[in-house]
Chain A
Amino acid sequence: MSREHEKGMSLIVKTITRLTVGLILLYGIYIVSHGHVSPGGGFAGGVIIALSFIHLMLAYGKEVAFKRLSRTVASFFESLGAIMFLVIAILGFTGGYFFLNFIAKGEPFKLFSAGIIPLCNIAICLKVGAGLFGIFVALVLLKLESGEKK
């Protein structure tokens, strides 16, 4: 218990963060997975998922956030998003051309519909979320290192 008080903000902020960070992550996943039937999509959902981890990092310090999502895992997910998007695009060649919507469209207004659009949303979400988390971590670490030097 006493070890937790060393880094990060006060006890109130930590308690509220512990209660809300899961909800924020869940809301981001909802925005991404329903991106083709309601407002939202890969960009907004990816930024919300990145913000949930940034919230954790601001409240608890960088060690706790890195335990959940380390830098190597973040860079892996970013590369995975990019490759997944390209593979979906190239698989369109099975039916004719680049970015062909080759999966069956399904019934409108259902979650599993619209062919490749949900898959592309997930790829974009992984890419944007991991990329913005990486940018934030890089800027924060630069600040910490320059502070240590002085």
Chain B
Amino acid sequence: MVELYILLILMIIGAIIAIEVKDMLSSVIAVGAAGLALSITFLILKAPDVAITQLVVEILALIILIRATLKKDLPFSATGRWFLNTLITVAFVVVFLVIAKRCLDDLPQFGQPLMRVAKIYLKQGLAKTGATNLVGSVILDYRAYDTLGEATILFTAVIGVLSIVRRVGRKKVGTEVKEEDE
């Protein structure tokens, strides 16, 4: 399990670089590096479906982020109460980590999951659904309602993006359409 620690530390370093670097394009590319390391981590943890999906989704998110940030100026403002803001934020994060550490003691040990629900899936999955990929059978047969909700959320997001991007009508030369009314 040494490679798991190495990949996680690599991801944390990539995240810190992405947060702290001033150039926007470098920041986006550092996020991409962290995402690819996450994909390899999924592969080591024996989740090939999630690894494939994470890889392709990472590429698409990276393309969209680069299109959004290209040729935009970056106003870097560090004015006013810099020290106080950072202190409060770090204190909040430290409190979060301390509470999470106490909660983690109640979790089962790493490597020995409970699998109270999944025992039934593993035992009867092949006979009941006929699919050899058990993740596919969980997504589309046992828990198809989840997928239905996911499809609804995706549809809503597409409609939201299209309605935000849309311009009302075709602007004529002399008349100004008020942007606030859209």
Contact A120 B140 (CB under 8 A): yes
Assembly CA distance A134 to B156 (angstroms): 12
A55 to chain B: closest CB distance in Å? Answer: 9
Interface membership of A23, Cβ < 8 A: no
Known pairs A51-B60, A54-B63, A136-B64; A116 contacts B130 (CB<8 A): no
Interface membership of B49, Cβ < 8 A: yes
Checking A31, A42, A120, A139 against B64 with a beta-carbon cut-off of 8 angstroms, the contacting residue is A139
Known pairs A99-B145, A114-B137; A105 contacts B63 (CB<8 A): no
Contact B158 A131 (CB under 8 A): yes
Interface membership of A26, Cβ < 8 A: no
Number of interface residues of A (CB under 8 A): 51
Of all chain B residues, the one with the shortest Cβ separation from A34 is B133
Checking A39, A86, A135, A138 against B49 with a beta-carbon cut-off of 8 angstroms, the contacting residue is A39
Interface membership of B56, Cβ < 8 A: yes
Contact B131 A36 (CB under 8 A): yes
Interface membership of A61, Cβ < 8 A: no
List residues of chain A with CB within 8 A of the CB of B162: 134, 138
Checking B131, B148, B158 against A89 with a beta-carbon cut-off of 8 angstroms, the contacting residue is B148
Checking B53, B141, B147 against A101 with a beta-carbon cut-off of 8 angstroms, the contacting residue is B141
A78 to chain B: closest CB distance in Å? Answer: 7
Q: What per-residue 1/0 map shows which CB atoms of A121-139 lie under 8 Å from chain B? A: 1001001100110111011
List residues of chain A with CB within 8 A of the CB of B165: 138-139, 141-142
Q: Is the interface of A mostly helix, strand, loop or mixed?
A: helix
Q: What per-residue 1/0 map shows which CB atoms of B131-143 lie under 8 Å from chain A? A: 1110111011100
A47 to chain B: closest CB distance in Å? Answer: 4
Contact A35 B53 (CB under 8 A): no
List residues of chain B with CB within 8 A of the CB of A109: 132
Known pairs A138-B162, A142-B165; A114 contacts B130 (CB<8 A): yes
List residues of chain B with CB within 8 A of the CB of A31: 52
Interface membership of A91, Cβ < 8 A: no
Contact B130 A37 (CB under 8 A): no
Q: What per-residue 1/0 map shows which CB atoms of B116-142 lie under 8 Å from chain A? A: 000000000010111111011101110
Contact A117 B136 (CB under 8 A): yes
Of all chain B residues, the one with the shortest Cβ separation from A115 is B130
Known pairs A54-B63, A115-B130; A39 contacts B155 (CB<8 A): no
Interface membership of B102, Cβ < 8 A: no
Interface membership of B68, Cβ < 8 A: yes
Checking A35, A106, A138 against B136 with a beta-carbon cut-off of 8 angstroms, the contacting residue is A35
Q: Name 16 interchain pairs, CB-CB below 8 A, sorted by A.
A: A36-B133, A39-B49, A40-B133, A42-B140, A51-B56, A82-B155, A101-B129, A108-B126, A115-B130, A120-B140, A120-B144, A121-B136, A124-B151, A131-B158, A135-B64, A139-B67
A-B CB proximity, top 10 nearest? A105-B130, A39-B48, A114-B131, A36-B131, A114-B130, A99-B144, A47-B56, A120-B140, A44-B52, A138-B165
